Amino acid sequence: MTSKLFTPLKLGCIGTLQHRVVLAPLTRNRATEPTLSPSSLAVQYYRQRASRGGLLITEATHISPESLAYPATPGIWSTEQVQGWRQVTDAVHEKGGFIVCQLWHTGRVAHPDYGSHPCNRELHYQPGVSASPTQIVDRQGNPGKTVTYDGTKEHAVPKELSLQDIFRLCEDYANAAQRAKEAGFDGVEIHAAHGYLIDQFLNNGVNRRTDEYGGSVKNRCRLLIEVVEAVSSVWPEGAVGVRISPHDAPNGGNTYYGCKDSDPDAIYSHAIQLLNRYALAYLLVTEPRWVGKYDSTPESDPGFEMPLTNLHKYRSLFDGVMIGAGGFTPATSYEASKDTEKGYDAIAFGRWFISNPDLPERLRTWHDYESRGRQGVPEPPPLNRYERATFYAPHEKDGYIDYPSMDFFNESTESTESTKNPDFKGMVAGKYELVDQSQIGTSLKDIKSNPKSKM
């Protein structure tokens, strides 16, 4: 039986995907300072991960300086940024791939110190805003910590956005959407997940407003809908996606930046059903099975063994294409793809796509192997093991463009001549440990790294 992950999928007006292995949006902290434009390394990073008919979603990209919350993260509001992203989109399109830009506003996660960033000199934005002046705190109720260019500081009490501010905010989203079109993207994705601004409006643990943007689930969904409409005024039907991250427990559970709700199932169910009014390209849903404590060690990460929850809660509520993300392995992606009616339509990978630029092809061999009962076909190749220490390393090539593809590894072992394949630029053979695809997820605690096994 052919795996659903390797069958075509019509994705609105973006185009028809030739496979359903998606690059999830991944912050990498490698934008050029002080313009916050994509660098030449970013062009190579996305080029390496592009494939014919494959979908890449960019790292979260600021719609304005008001969103700045981390060093060296890119924007999409200036001419310089558009020019930088144009090089990225051109590289992806040269390989026959599709790429959409994730539009991002961090809200209260941004520290006011970012207001002094050089890119904010003329616009005079003041980072650190939210639905309400609700500060990010730790489990003991103390102010949470965040990273600035001057080191670690306490999260500030955010400024509550006024009605006039919200109107301007929607204009910022529309401007960023227009800039993304100028940069040559195939579509855009609205980041409404992971405790950032739109998620802050959704959750009543943060949103304590008493006006038309607070209180009822309808009111708390208002900003999400207004942003969708603002972005859709720029892009045609079927070119806009939305990402959400329903969490799994009242007043806590697996939440992001303390963004919690008294009844999360109610707010996210309402939001998803409202989104059916719009001809979205897709809805990207995060499964709440990321465990930060173990994120750096795939051998002991319990997230790879947790069951799907959001698929079963919300798949029946959404009429369009739904993409799943969070904790998928080769084995679980194969099982999820066997259900052609109730499963996710596509699966987005993050960490494994970072360390395996040719992840779709590696997974294809695994799915072929499984679909044929592991008989009569070669065993699938291993995966490069990711190194979390390099996920967020400004200006570093390590852990960014040096993970080798199978083609690069094969060529480097068979020939000493330099290759002319542009994808291979920056790749290094023999640097990273390997993980057998069959071992990931089901017996992680029994896996022992083999430092001699490297690609």
| Structural domains of the chain in order of their starting residue, each with its CATH number | 4-446 (3.20.20.70)
pLDDT value of residue 254: 76
Task: Over range 60-80, report the average pLDDT.
Answer: 97
pLDDT value of residue 251: 52
Task: Over range 275-304, report the average pLDDT.
Answer: 82
pLDDT value of residue 377: 80
Task: Over range 93-120, report the average pLDDT.
Answer: 97
Mean pLDDT of the chain, nearest integer: 90
Q: Give whole-number Cα distances, 81 to 32, 34, 61, 182, 421, in Å.
A: 10, 11, 10, 11, 27
Q: pLDDT band for position 417 (50/70/90)?
A: very low
Largest interatomic CA distance in the chain: 68
pLDDT value of residue 341: 67
Task: Over range 71-95, report the average pLDDT.
Answer: 98
pTM: 0.94
Highest mean pLDDT among 180-189, 287-296, 341-350, 385-394: 180-189
Task: Over range 63-67, report the average pLDDT.
Answer: 97
Flag whether pLDDT at 295 surpasses 70.
no
Flag whether pLDDT at 452 surpasses 70.
no
| 329 phi/psi in degrees, rounded to 5 | -125, 170
Task: Over range 320-335, report the average pLDDT.
Answer: 89
Q: pLDDT band for position 336 (50/70/90)?
A: confident
Flag whether pLDDT at 449 surpasses 50.
no
Task: Over range 20-39, report the average pLDDT.
Answer: 97
Active-site residue, from 46, 173, 196, 403: 196
Q: pLDDT band for position 444 (50/70/90)?
A: very low
pLDDT value of residue 447: 35
Query: Which tens digits make up the pLDDT trace of 145-198?
Result: 999 999 999 999 999 999 999 999 999 999 999 999 999 999 999 999 999 999
Q: pLDDT band for position 451 (50/70/90)?
A: very low
Q: Is 196 assigned a catalytic role?
A: yes
* Rounded Cα distance, 238 and 162, in Å: 31
Q: Which residue has the higher pLDDT, 272 or 255?
A: 272
Task: Over range 377-395, report the average pLDDT.
Answer: 88
Q: pLDDT band for position 443 (50/70/90)?
A: very low
